[in-house]
Structure 1
Amino acid sequence: MKVRCDYCGNPAQLVTGSKIYPHRTDLRHLRFWSCEPCSAYVGCHKNSNRNVPLGRLANAELRIWKQLAHSNFDPIWKSGRLNRREAYSWLADELNLDLKKCHIGMFNVEQCKRVVQIIAARAAKGVRMSAVIVSLIQGTSEWNTWRMNGIGGSDAPVIEGTSPYKTARELYFEKTGLKTSEEDKSKEYIFSLGHKVEALIRKQFQEQTGVEMKPVCMEHGDFPYLRVSFDGFDSSRGVLEGKLVSKEVLLEASTTGRIPDFHYTQMQHGFMVSGADIGHWFGHDGKKTGIVIPIRANQEFIKRQEEREHLFWDNVQNRIVPPLSDRDYLIPEDQSLLAELRDAKELAENAQAQFETLRSQVVHLFNHPKIAGGGLKIFKVTKQGSLDLLSVPEIAKTRAELKDDYLEAFRKKGSESWTVRLDAVKKSKGAHV
């Protein structure tokens, strides 16, 4: 089969995925038609013996617009309200194209832009279907499965890039049933503790505000894979997002009205799914102190957020792995050098443990602040504890009044170092590059 580049007209070359995606081992067996001078390529139908291309060759600009077109259009049929053929038939009418020629893989940049505009216009003038309440008990295995099979509130900050706990790549491997490393037990503890105090937070929110909120699970009316599990919801009063937070977060919220970015993103996801336009962030210390901050829906933010979530879910369905971020672990194919470093680390830790044991034996045996002999000098060093200045009321009050931008001017020069930690999981799945 002969395929020509749509940009220069020269014959395209049939290559493997290792040429197009050299760092993607999962794509190396696939075939692509490529024009290297134009930096354009297109994949082949997986079940085709003749290497039939999926569409026209696309350069960087067209690839971006194809991805945007798909992320806007595909949810129409993936939601199940129209099948794929019905959705493309509707799009063909909108674009005034023959149905046989209406495929995003064949579109140029202008046609892809037109798709995005048509979907946006449809959303602007159409009446969105109401959110669907899902009958689930939070914390059950059924609830966990439901959350895993869609994008929930806690996933939204990960996709947005504001979550301190997880990256989009890690979330992708979770949603596709793969794991890149062992679970972080400290994070598990934080999340489980938060779930345990949700009932307490709802109770204290009601006592403090006089508003009763009930936990509820919802799905987006048009896109069921967009989901939310509210700590509390009332059709007239909006949503409740209860959070177990530190005293520093409570202080920031009480003095500035600001909540953590990833909490804000999570609440905007809830507005997007439910259609509500107001909510209450209730930060709590798990004991007595709770602060209510009213939060409103930000439609511009929600629009951008929804586009990112559609794109992420499309990647999950099509097994397109998100690129590595600086927060992700790179796992090379050749791990021989890492294995050498691991062995050296184990030796060093064993030697350190032996050293500390012998030191303790010597100190207890001779019981004197200075000991010498055997080529060693051993002596006791005593240090005073550091001052906890923020515990001083006057200083704490002044610190709360100082803005972070002002304090940054007094920060000392930073430094970099590398930590080597032994990993209990020797082999990780699905994250090789």
Structure 2
Amino acid sequence: MLNLNYTPEQVVDISHLTREEWLSYRRLGIGGSDVAAIMGISPFATSRDLYNDKIGVEPVIEEESNWVALEVGHRLEDLVAEIFSKKTGLEVFPVRIMFRHPLYPFMLADVDFFVRMPDGSFAILECKTCNYNAKDKWADGNIPDHYIYQVRHYMAVMNIHHAFIACLWGNNEKDFVYYPLDRDLLEEENIIEQEEYFWTEYVEKKVEPPLSGKPDLVLASIRRYSGYADKSIPEISISGLEARSLERYLSLSEEKSQLEKRKKEIDSEQKAIIVPFVEQMGQGCKALLEDGTNRYRITFSPTRRTMIGKENLEKLKVQHPDIFEEYTTETENRVFRLKKEVA
């Protein structure tokens, strides 16, 4: 049973902190945006990534982050709050303080905005933005799960029972939704239990948590903290892992190969079908065929892009090495291949 007789503690005024100072304070505990990684549902990071961040381990390979999206989201928070206020008639205000749960001091909270409710109580307002293609994730009353965990964490720290999550995905007031979220003490108890285990068993003891989460994120995490490939390392003998998982990998490879073969057959048949239509269209990009029952609208539009071919790239490297160095970026991608041999 949770003890609800508490007031959140103030850690620091964040209004004048530099980003590095703010990050240093964040490493003192678990913030709302960290929770999804602990629960294994984050679309951005694994629990291993979060662990490394909390103990100050820097990734070997610095990957370019989408700083534009992050900056846009940050700058639009005030606008999202303003739209929410106009739509609801409720007073919205910021409090630029980092708070801490007095009973679970590893729980920290930077709340976007607070809402003054008609009865004088307060609610939390979490402001989000997304691109137009992601708006369906917010349709029909849905809130992405990782944001729900974030706000439930905030309600726990602040001892507040109501919250709103608002999202803007366009430049129109109609491109906006907000949903209420009420406190769920059973879910909150589970969140606190998971966070406490992560903090006390992994972070405080400096023990790496097991790699878990979406495979793409896990593989990216391994790559980020292992560093660049080194071909001079001798062949590694693997132990403690079962060969049957590799047999399953080979089986899936064969299945994938058959599907790709069928895909090529379908592609070839489709191309054969469109030949007479393309021939009649010539340089045209749009066409119409009617058979008395249906109308078929055809488009055959061009896509063009400017690129530097491999040959010209080599010339650029030789003739203008300074420009080549300034405008090219080297990336690394490692391919896992498996070959079965008789022992």
Report the TM-score when normalising by structure 1.
0.46
Q: Amino acid of the residue matched to residue 206 of structure 2?
A: R
Aligned 1:115-126 pairs, distance under 5 A: 123-124=1-2, 126=3
Look up the match of 2:54: 175
Residues 284 and 291 in structure 1, CA contact (< 8 A), matched pair in contact too: yes
CA displacement 1:209-261 (0-9 Å, x = unmatched): 2222222332112122201111111462411010011334434434x201111
Q: Amino acid of the residue matched to residue 42 of structure 2?
A: S
For the residues of structure 2 that align with 1:339 and 1:297, how far apart are their CA atoms?
A: 53
Aligned 1:324-335 pairs, distance under 5 A: 324-325=211-212, 326=215, 327=218, 328-329=221-222
Look up the match of 2:204: 317
For the residues of structure 2 that align with 1:130 and 1:186, how far apart are their CA atoms?
A: 36
- The CA deviation at 1:335 is 5.3
Look up the match of 2:160: 276
Once the two structures are overlaid, the 10-residue window that deviates more, 178-187 or 286-295, is 178-187
For the residues of structure 2 that align with 1:196 and 1:291, how far apart are their CA atoms?
A: 18
Look up the match of 1:253: 138
For the residues of structure 2 that align with 1:337 and 1:283, how far apart are their CA atoms?
A: 47
For the residues of structure 1 that align with 2:40 and 2:230, how far apart are their CA atoms?
A: 33
Structure 2 residue runs of 5 or longer lacking an equivalent are: 235-281, 287-329, 334-343
Q: Amino acid of the residue matched to residue 85 of structure 2?
A: Q
- Which of structures 1 and 2 has the larger relative contact order (alpha carbons within 8 angstroms, sep 6+)? 2
- The CA deviation at 1:286 is 5.3
For the residues of structure 2 that align with 1:334 and 1:184, how far apart are their CA atoms?
A: 12
Residues 137 and 144 in structure 2, CA contact (< 8 A), matched pair in contact too: no
For the residues of structure 1 that align with 2:284 and 2:27, how far apart are their CA atoms?
A: 50
2:194 aligned to 269, 290, 308, which one?
308
For the residues of structure 2 that align with 1:193 and 1:183, how far apart are their CA atoms?
A: 22
CA displacement 1:49-80 (0-9 Å, x = unmatched): xxxxxxxxxxxxxxxxxxxxxxxxxxxxxxxx
For the residues of structure 2 that align with 1:139 and 1:244, how far apart are their CA atoms?
A: 24
For the residues of structure 2 that align with 1:300 and 1:199, how far apart are their CA atoms?
A: 32
Aligned 1:9-28 pairs, distance under 5 A: none
- The CA deviation at 1:279 is 0.7
Structure 1 residues 188, 338: closer, same or farther in 2, change over 3 A? farther
Counterpart of 2:126 in 1: which secondary structure?
Answer: strand
For the residues of structure 1 that align with 2:183 and 2:228, how far apart are their CA atoms?
A: 48
For the residues of structure 2 that align with 1:197 and 1:130, how far apart are their CA atoms?
A: 30
Counterpart of 1:264 in 2: which secondary structure?
Answer: helix
For the residues of structure 1 that align with 2:283 and 2:66, how far apart are their CA atoms?
A: 33
Q: Amino acid of the residue matched to residue 7 of structure 2?
A: S
1:166 aligned to 45, 48, 62, which one?
45
- The CA deviation at 1:269 is 0.9
Counterpart of 2:36 in 1: which secondary structure?
Answer: helix
Structure 1 residue runs of 5 or longer lacking an equivalent are: 1-122, 341-381, 387-420, 425-433
- The CA deviation at 1:303 is 1.3
Residues 152 and 227 in structure 1, CA contact (< 8 A), matched pair in contact too: yes
Look up the match of 1:337: 231
- The CA deviation at 1:179 is 1.9
Structure 1 residues 285, 183: closer, same or farther in 2, change over 3 A? farther
Aligned 1:76-225 pairs, distance under 5 A: 123-124=1-2, 126-138=3-15, 140-141=17-18, 142-216=21-95, 217-225=98-106
Number of corresponding residues: 225
Residues 60 and 227 in structure 2, CA contact (< 8 A), matched pair in contact too: no
- The CA deviation at 1:298 is 2.2
- The CA deviation at 1:167 is 0.9
Look up the match of 2:112: 231
Runs of 4+ in structure 1 off by over 6 angstroms are 331-334, 382-386
For the residues of structure 2 that align with 1:294 and 1:172, how far apart are their CA atoms?
A: 31
For the residues of structure 2 that align with 1:320 and 1:275, how far apart are their CA atoms?
A: 31
Structure 1 residues 139, 159: closer, same or farther in 2, change over 3 A? farther
Structure 1 residues 194, 184: closer, same or farther in 2, change over 3 A? farther
Residues 106 and 196 in structure 2, CA contact (< 8 A), matched pair in contact too: no
